[in-house]
């Protein structure tokens, strides 16, 4: 996929990874629209990139259609959607509060799935859907069962979407990163993180995602044995 001139909505741009990916897309010549949970940080990156921003509540599926339509207005349409949102909680099965487990499913699976569905009518033919699931979709992890399940649900959806929209979308990319030092684990909804592996290099990760979009890849995952990103 040629990125120069493409119009991307980046959701989660107020986070470390979402912000870096928005910058990387802009550096490749994309016209971006940003949305994020933290209003001040979202406005900051919008000002930095000279990009429009849009209010978007990932947990309010009824509002998403109107929000995506608003995001499409500045550039008369969209060519891509990048979803870099998520939440984590730590705790064994039966130890997490049911409300926390439900929140994980809403933030990590239901919200992104609803958002992608709302965006599809606005994406031009040959467009792209890119979403960050997580390494636990490949390697469900003890002490993180609910989190693993929520990310695996998003990954399964992306796999089916790729088959359904193979004639409409050039790229449906499921990105499954490993642990990175972004402060994400420290913002857990519950519990304390277990000992974590050596962190993945954030800059290398961002470059890998952009390269995978350009190459039309289906998956970008972190292989725990080889300790590196693998594209497919």
- Tokens 């039966």 label which residue? 94
pLDDT of residue 65: 94
Question: What length does the chain have?
Answer: 232
Assigned token pair, 72: 């499409």
Q: Is residue 135 situated within a structural domain?
A: yes
Q: Is residue 25 situated within a structural domain?
A: yes
Q: Is residue 165 situated within a structural domain?
A: yes
* Strand ranges of the sheet holding 169-176, from the earlier edge strand across to the other edge: 31-35, 7-11, 78-83, 123-132, 169-176, 219-223, 228-231
Q: Is residue 11 situated within a structural domain?
A: yes
Distance CA 91, CA 143 (A): 5
| Domain total of the chain | 1
Cβ within 8 Å of residue 7, ≥6 positions away: 30, 31, 32, 33, 72, 75, 77, 78, 79, 80
Q: Is residue 153 situated within a structural domain?
A: yes
Distance CA 231, CA 209 (A): 9
CATH number at residue 55: 3.40.50.720
Q: Is residue 171 situated within a structural domain?
A: yes
Q: Is residue 2 situated within a structural domain?
A: no
What amino acid positions are annotated as catalytic residues?
Answer: 147
pLDDT of residue 135: 94
Torsions phi, psi for 2 (to 5 deg): -80, 125
Full pLDDT tens readout for the chain, 232 residues: 999 999 999 999 999 999 999 999 999 999 999 999 899 999 999 999 999 999 999 999 999 999 999 999 999 999 999 999 999 999 999 999 999 999 999 999 999 999 999 999 999 999 999 999 999 999 999 999 999 999 999 999 999 999 999 999 999 999 999 999 998 988 999 999 888 888 999 999 999 999 999 999 999 999 888 888 999 9
Q: Is residue 1 situated within a structural domain?
A: no
Q: Can you give the residue range of the structural domain that contains 68?
A: 7-231
Assigned token pair, 41: 């940080």
pTM for this predicted structure:
0.96
pLDDT of residue 227: 84
32 and 51 Cβ atoms separated by less than 8 Å:
yes
């Amino acid at each position: 996929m040629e990125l120069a001139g493409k119009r991307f909505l980046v959701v989660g741009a107020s986070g470390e990874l979402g912000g870096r990916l928005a910058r990387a897309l802009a550096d490749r010549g994309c016209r971006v629209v940003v949305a994020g949970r933290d209003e001040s940080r979202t406005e900051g990156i919008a000002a930095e990139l000279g990009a429009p921003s849009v209010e978007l509540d990932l947990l309010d599926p009824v509002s998403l259609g109107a929000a995506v339509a608003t995001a499409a207005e500045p550039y008369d349409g969209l060519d891509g959607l990048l979803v870099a949102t998520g939440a984590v909680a730590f705790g064994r099965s039966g130890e997490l509060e049911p409300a926390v487990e439900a929140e994980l499913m809403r933030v990590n699976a239901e919200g992104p799935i609803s958002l992608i569905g709302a965006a599809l009518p606005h994406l031009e033919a040959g467009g792209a859907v890119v979403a960050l699931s997580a390494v636990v979709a490949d390697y469900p992890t003890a002490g993180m069962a609910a989190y693993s399940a929520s990310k695996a649900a998003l990954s399964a959806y992306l796999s089916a979407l790729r088959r359904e929209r193979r004639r409409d979308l050039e790229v449906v990319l499921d990105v499954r990163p490993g642990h990175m030092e972004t402060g994400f684990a420290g913002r857990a909804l519950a519990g304390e993180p277990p000992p974590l592996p050596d962190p993945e290099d954030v800059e290398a990760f961002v470059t890998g995602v952009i390269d995978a979009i350009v190459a039309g890849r289906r998956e970008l995952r972190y292989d725990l044995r080889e300790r590196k990103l693998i594209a497919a």
